[in-house]
Amino acid sequence: MKWYLIIGSAIVVIGGVLALLFSGSPKEDTATIPAPGLPMASSTTSTGGVSGLSMEPTVSFATPGGAVATVKNFIRNGETVPDVQNPGSYVLAGSVGYCLADGTCPSGASTTDFNISYNEQTHFFNIVLLKEPLGTVRLAAEQFLTDRLGLTGQEACNLNYFVGTPYWVNEAYDDKNLGFSFCPGATTLPK
Amino acid sequence: MRSRVPLFALLLLVGSLAIPVVAHAQGIPFFGPIIPEATNQCAAGWGLLITVINRVIALLITLAIVFVAPLTIAWAGFLYVVNPVDPSGIAKAKGILTNTVVGIVLALAGWMIVDAIMAVLYNPSKPGETWASLIGSGGLPPCLDLKASLNQSAGQANILGVSATGGKFLSLPTNGNCTASNLLAATAGSAYTLTQSQANTLSCIAVPESSCGNNTTGAKQVNGTPTSASGMFQIVFGCSGCNDTCHNLNIPSCSQAAGVSGNLNCYSAFKGGLPVPGKEAEAAACKRAAANLNCNAQAAACLVKSRPNFGDWTGDPRASTQKNCVTLYANK
């Protein structure tokens, strides 16, 4: 074997290894890094509750990593509805699960595949997958949430969230936070 | 012979570029954890064993590529540089370089081939999937069946008519609406206060019941028929044996949440999982109340007070996780 062939192959392999290391999805240990990719608010922005009642185009809230996330105003977007039975909670997608005394039945974005709610006290997003196939429904829920918040997938990983499914949808996956599919440690779901 | 060199070089180039991409799809590079966190509290079954073997192999290949190969290639380069005229030194460098390249290609190619074959053997209906991705969803349970231990430790006679399969053990939710502290707060000052262990158990149960959601509805029975189950603890209305204070939501906080005076009497407002014709307003009031965290938690606490074995959430044959919650937290 010619020497230039060996060196060329070595360069190609090293290139492949470098591409392997730097072109993929984020590693699991990035979950512990405090919100590295989230859009950061200025230091003067309040980090308290979301100012959802304002008509500001963006809202800010604290993430579990301690950073401040600034996202599109998903509360006052003409789609999200307040969960009047649980003050401070909002439903972004799906039904609130009840009808009001006046006969109206509030609902966030129309879907029966998943339900997404938000608690402004804890800045917590609860995503409930209500139909099979779970993998496909989770993708749709992720797409919905990242679109409404104006976040990339990696930024969404830093949110305070839970993705789950009840036992009556799929008892094999009813016991944990399934995670966003693009986040480290997410559960692989059937599509 | 000389004319084949460019062809061989091209094949090597394409192969070297393609293998890492394929390997990446199978979880390489992989830096752990070797034991999946979700299963670190259960007795390992075949699914977990295979998963661990896969992870060990992925870790070894990762270490070889990331740490060993660069060092040997660098060493070979060093030998080239310091032996410009020494044929034995150059030959040694060539040998090291050749072995390194061939080793990496063989390791990755070997893993790729094994993974492809195992994927086909494991689930022939999914030819596009990799073995590593199929293990978690192909039905091999990671944990051993704990039916016997569940029956013993639930503090009751053997649970009949249910299958305690799955072997899943939950960590208590630390955020969201269904944390134990939230449930304690939601029931504090009511007639249905919870102990810490009861709150822990209910917190655990809320995960499979509703994914901790206040607004979760749409449950179906095993045979596919709809139920009236509502809210975090999926309180049902109008079912056989449900004409009691708890299921009726005849609880002050529930009436308050629904905006009505007096008892809600939800049992009479539902039949077969649907509102009774002519009682739509009463049924809507019940659903409204059940969506309220305080009402739902107090109704759940009411049920626990009536049946301390949490039997209201463990009777369904699909409720293996709920039974595990009882096993883990009810008597602690």
One-letter-per-residue 3-state SS of chain B: CCCHHHHHHHHHHHHHHHHHHHHHHCCCCCCCCCCCHHHCCCCECHHHHHHHHHHHHHHHHHHHHHHHHHHHHHHHHHHHHHCCCCHHHHHHHHHHHHHHHHHHHHHHHHHHHHHHHHHHHHCCCCCCCCHHHHHCCCCCCCECCCHHHHHHHCCCCCCCCCCCCCCCCCCCCCCCCCCHHHHHHHHCCCCCCCCHHHHHHHHHHHHHHHCCCCCCCCCECCCCCECCCECCCCECCCCCCCCCHHHHCCCHHHHHHHCCCCCCCHHHHEECCEECCCCHHHHHHHHHHHHCHHHHHHHHHHHHHHCCCCHHHCCCCCCHHHHHHHHHHCCC
Residues B121 and B199 in one domain: no
By C-alpha distance, the chain B residue nearest A13 is B16
Q: B26 with B130: CB under 8 angstroms?
A: yes
Nearest CB to B17; choose among A12, A122, A167: A12
Condensed to tens digits (0 to 9), the pLDDT of residues B50-99 reads 778 888 888 888 888 888 888 999 998 888 888 878 888 888 888 998 99
By C-alpha distance, the chain A residue nearest B19 is A16
Tell me: pLDDT of B151 over 60.
no
Residue B151 lies in a domain: no
- What's residue B288's pLDDT? 94
Nearest CB to B215; choose among A91, A122, A187: A91
- What's residue B87's pLDDT? 84
Tell me: pLDDT of B276 over 70.
yes
Nearest CB to A95; choose among B104, B170, B215: B215
Tell me: pLDDT of B167 over 60.
no
Residue B14 lies in a domain: yes
By C-alpha distance, the chain A residue nearest B256 is A85
- What's residue B127's pLDDT? 61
Give B70's contacts in chain A (Cβ within 8 Å): 14, 17
Closest alpha carbon to B275 in A185, A61, A99: A99
Condensed to tens digits (0 to 9), the pLDDT of residues A76-98 reads 899 999 999 999 999 999 999 99
By C-alpha distance, the chain A residue nearest B234 is A166
CB contact under 8 A, B101 and A89: no
Single residue among B75, B105, B135 that ends a domain in this structure: B135
Residues B190 and B253 in one domain: yes
Residue B268 lies in a domain: yes
**Min Cα–Cα distance to chain A from B127, Å:** 14
Domain residue limits at B193: 156-329
Mean pLDDT of the B263-285 span? 91
CB contact under 8 A, A8 and B13: yes
Residues B287 and B321 in one domain: yes
* Rounded alpha-carbon distances, angstroms, from residue B49 to B3, B54, B140: 49, 9, 10
CB contact under 8 A, B217 and A10: no
Give dist(CA B295, CA B290) in Å, integer.
6
Q: Binning pLDDT at 50, 70 and 90, where does residue B149 land? A: very low
- What's residue A18's pLDDT? 55
Residues B195 and B46 in one domain: no
Give dist(CA B87, CA B308) in Å, integer.
83
Condensed to tens digits (0 to 9), the pLDDT of residues B194-248 reads 999 999 999 999 999 999 999 998 898 888 888 999 999 999 998 888 899 999 9
Mutate to test the interface with A, among B65, B97, B104, B216 (most CBs of A within 10 A): B216
Nearest CB to A174; choose among B105, B207, B218: B207
Give dist(CA A163, CA A188) in Å, integer.
12
Residue B127 lies in a domain: yes
Give B259's contacts in chain A (Cβ within 8 Å): 101
How many Å separate Cα A56 from the centre of its chain?
Answer: 21
Give B219's contacts in chain A (Cβ within 8 Å): 166, 168
- What's residue B40's pLDDT? 54
In tens digits, chain A (191 residues) has pLDDT values of: 566 656 666 676 666 555 544 444 333 332 222 333 444 333 323 333 444 455 667 888 878 777 788 899 999 899 999 999 999 999 999 999 999 999 999 999 999 999 999 999 889 999 999 999 999 999 999 999 999 999 888 888 889 999 999 999 998 899 888 999 998 888 888 87
* Domain boundaries along the sequence of chain A: 3-173
Residues B130 and B160 in one domain: no
- What's residue A55's pLDDT? 62
Residue B162 lies in a domain: yes
Nearest CB to B287; choose among A97, A119, A171: A97
Residue A29 gets which letter from DSSP? G
- What's residue B295's pLDDT? 95
CB contact under 8 A, B175 and A160: yes
**Min Cα–Cα distance to chain B from A92, Å:** 11
* Rounded alpha-carbon distances, angstroms, from residue A31 to A39, A156, B98: 16, 11, 39
- As for the ipTM of the complex, it is 0.72
CB contact under 8 A, B173 and A162: yes
**Min Cα–Cα distance to chain B from A140, Å:** 18
Number of domains in chain B: 2
The DSSP element (H or E) to which A179 belongs, if any, is none
**Min Cα–Cα distance to chain B from A85, Å:** 5
Single residue among B87, B104, B135 that ends a domain in this structure: B135
- What's residue B232's pLDDT? 94
Q: A162 with B212: CB under 8 angstroms?
A: yes
Encoded tokens for A32: 């512990």
Residues B102 and B194 in one domain: no
**Min Cα–Cα distance to chain A from B30, Å:** 9
Residues B205 and B253 in one domain: yes
CB contact under 8 A, A97 and B73: no
Single residue among B102, B135, B168 that ends a domain in this structure: B135
> Exposed e or buried b for every residue in A75-102, given b needs 16+ CB within 10 A?
bbeeebbbbbbbeebbbbbbbbbbbeee
Give B13's contacts in chain A (Cβ within 8 Å): 8-9, 12
Cis amide bond preceding A133, omega within 30: yes
CB contact under 8 A, A189 and B292: no
Nearest CB to B213; choose among A14, A19, A128: A128
Chain A / chain B CB contacts < 8 angstroms: 203
Residues B46 and B162 in one domain: no
Give A5's contacts in chain B (Cβ within 8 Å): 5, 8-9, 12
More confident call, B5 vs B179: B179
Encoded tokens for A17: 């290894």
The DSSP element (H or E) to which A149 belongs, if any, is helix A134-149
Residues B299 and B248 in one domain: yes
Residue B297 lies in a domain: yes
- What's residue A21's pLDDT? 47
* Rounded alpha-carbon distances, angstroms, from residue A152 to A135, A144, A171, B81, B136: 19, 12, 30, 47, 26
Condensed to tens digits (0 to 9), the pLDDT of residues B102-126 reads 888 888 888 888 877 877 776 666 5
Residues B269 and B184 in one domain: yes
